[in-house]
Amino acid sequence: MPKRTLASLEGARLDGQRALTRVDFNVPIKDGRVTDSTRIHAALPTIRYLREKGARVILCSHLGRPKGGPDPRFSLQPVAHALEIELGAPVVFIPDPAAPGAVTITKRLPRGGVALLENSRFHPGEEANDPALARIYAGLGDLYVNDAFGSAHRAHATTEGVAHLIKPAVSGFLMERELKYLGEALSAPARPFVAILGGAKISGKIDLIEALLPKVDTIVIGGAMACTFFKAMGLETGTSLVEPDRVDMARALLQRSGGKIILPGGAVIAQELSGSAPTRSVARDAIPAGWAVYDIDEPSGEAFAAIVSGARTAIWNGPMGVFETPPFDRGTRRVAMAMAAAAKAGAVTVVGGGDSAAAVAEAGVADQMTHVSTGGGASLEFLEGKPLPGVLALDDMQGP
C-alpha cells in the first residue's frame, strides 16, 4: 500500500499548522562545524515546501550515538547554524522537547518559521520507542512528516512511535523519492534486471542475495564478498578477507543460483593494503598464498560493465574493491561509469549503501544515476524486502 505523501495534503492542512518533521541531520561535525551538508541539502525540498505553504516547521533528528544522555559533542546546535545559512532564515533551537516552554515556542513560531529540536538520542526513550517520549514529541506538531528514510528501519520514538499519535502522518519528498525508486526497481523492474553486489562482508548481505535471487536476471558479485565464494569453489584465497563460517552458505547459494551469480574472473592483489604496495593482476585460480584480493581485475571490470550496459534496471550495493585506497578503486570506478552510461541509455540505475554512494560521488557520476539512496542500512533492509517500521507507521494513501 503506498503511503500518504506530503504533496497529497491540501494547502489548508498545512497553512498555520505545526509540522513535526523527522529529518536525517546525522551529519559529520568537526570543531562545532558541519563538514558535509549533503543530508541537510537532501531535506531542503520538504522544509522549503512546508514554509511556502505557511506551516510552522519543527524539525527533529538524531545525531551519532550519544551514550546515556545529553552530550555536547553530539549537539545539533551546529546544524541549526548551517540550516540558517541554507534557508536564509532564522532557526529557533529547542534544547529539550520535554521542557515546559517547548510547546509554547512551537506555537509562537511565525507561519513559515523553522525550529530545530536537540538530538533525539539525548533521551533514552528514543531508541526504546518509549510511548511517553513519543507523546512529548506529538505535543509539538499538528501533523507529522517523515523525511528521514535513513532512519526508517529503526522503530524509534521520533520515527515510529510518534507517527501513531499525530494525524496526518505523511512521507516527505525525500522519503517519497526513496520509496518510489527502490520500490519500483523491486516490484516492476524493466528487464534485464541486474544487481551488482560488493563490499566487505558476505555475512551482512546474505539476506540481500537471498531476496534478490528470485527477482533478478543476474547478480554480479565483487568486493571481498567474492573471496568467500572463491573459497567455496575450492580456490586459494591467500590472505584475502574471507569469512570461513560462510563458505558453506556461499557454496549452497552458488548451487541454487541457476547460473545467475557471476563472479570476477580475476583480481588485483597485493601483499599489504597500501597504495604504494606492489600489485599484481591474476586469474582467480592463481591467487598465491600471502597475497590478498583488493579489487576486481580489469577484464572483470570490463565484463561487469558489459553486463551493466545490457541491463534495463541495475541496482548496486557495495564497492568492488577497497576503493578508499587507490589503485584499488579502479573496479569500483569502472562499475560507476558503466552505471552512469546505462542510465544515459535509458536504464533505471539505483545505488544503495553508504560506501557505494560515496564511491559514486567520488567518481563524479552521482547526478547521472536515476537514484542514489541516502539511507545505507535502510536501503539494504528495504532491498531485502523487510518492512521499514518508520514507513509502515505512516498513513496509507487513502488515510483519514
Q: Which residues are catalytic?
A: 39, 201, 354, 377
Residues in 352-391 at the binding interface with Mg ion, rule: CB under 5 A:
354-355
Query: Which residue's CB is nearer to Mg ion, number 327 or number 354?
Result: 354
Binding to ligand ADP by residue 301, rule CB under 6 A? no
Q: Which helix (H) or strand (E) holds 93?
A: strand 91-94
Would you call 325 exposed, middle or buried from its count of C-beta atoms within 10 A (0-12, 13-18, 19+)?
Answer: middle
Smallest distance from the beta carbon of 193 to ligand ADP, in angstroms? 19
Site for ligand ADP in 224-283 (CB under 6 A): 224, 241
Chain residues 25-64 in contact with Mg ion, contact rule CB under 5 A: none
Among 78, 161, 189, 199, contact with ligand ADP (rule: CB under 6 A): 199
**Is residue 270 within 8 Å of 287, Cβ to Cβ?**
no
Q: Which stretch binds ligand ADP (CB under 6 A): 47-55, 74-82, 144-152, 318-326?
A: 318-326
CB atoms within 10 A of CB 278: 9
Q: Which three cell numbers stand for residue 323?
A: 576503493
Residue from 264, 318, 375, 389 touching ligand ADP (CB under 6 A): that is: 318
Contact with ligand ADP (CB under 6 A) among 78, 113, 301, 321: 321
Cell matching residue 310 = 545490457
Say whether 221 sits in a helix, a strand or coil. Answer: strand
List 106, 317, 368, 374, residue binding ligand ADP (CB under 6 A): 317
Residues 158, 109, 13, 184: what is their CA dihedral angle, to the nearest 10 degrees?
-40
Region label for 217, one of left (φ > 0), alpha (ψ between -120 and 50) or beta (otherwise): alpha
Q: Does residue 390 bind ligand ADP (CB under 6 A)?
A: no
Tell which one of 78, 141, 168, 223 touches ligand ADP (CB under 6 A).
Answer: 223
Considering only the stretches 15-23, 25-33, 155-163, 349-357, report the one whose residues sit in contact with ligand ADP under the rule CB under 6 A.
349-357
CB-facing half-sphere around the CA of 124: CA atoms within 13 A = 3
Smaller CB separation from ligand ADP, 270 or 348: 270
381 binds ligand ADP (CB under 6 A): no
Q: Which three cell numbers stand for residue 291?
A: 597475497
Residue with cell 541454487: 256
Q: In whole angstroms, give the CA distance from residue 90 to residue 365.
A: 34
User: Which amino acid, 104?
Assistant: T
Q: Which is nearer to Mg ion, 168 or 199 (CB)?
A: 199
CA distance 156 to 127: 5
Q: Which stretch binds ligand ADP (CB under 6 A): 21-29, 76-84, 298-306, 315-323?
A: 315-323
Which of 103, 200, 341, 392 is in the footprint of ligand ADP by CB under 6 A?
200
The label of the residue with cell 520515527 reads 159
Which residues make beta-bridge pairs with 29? 34
Per CB under 6 A, residues contacting ligand ADP are 198-200, 204, 223-224, 241, 293-294, 317-319, 321-322, 324, 353-356, 376
Q: Can you give the binding site for Mg ion, defined by CB under 5 A?
A: 354-355
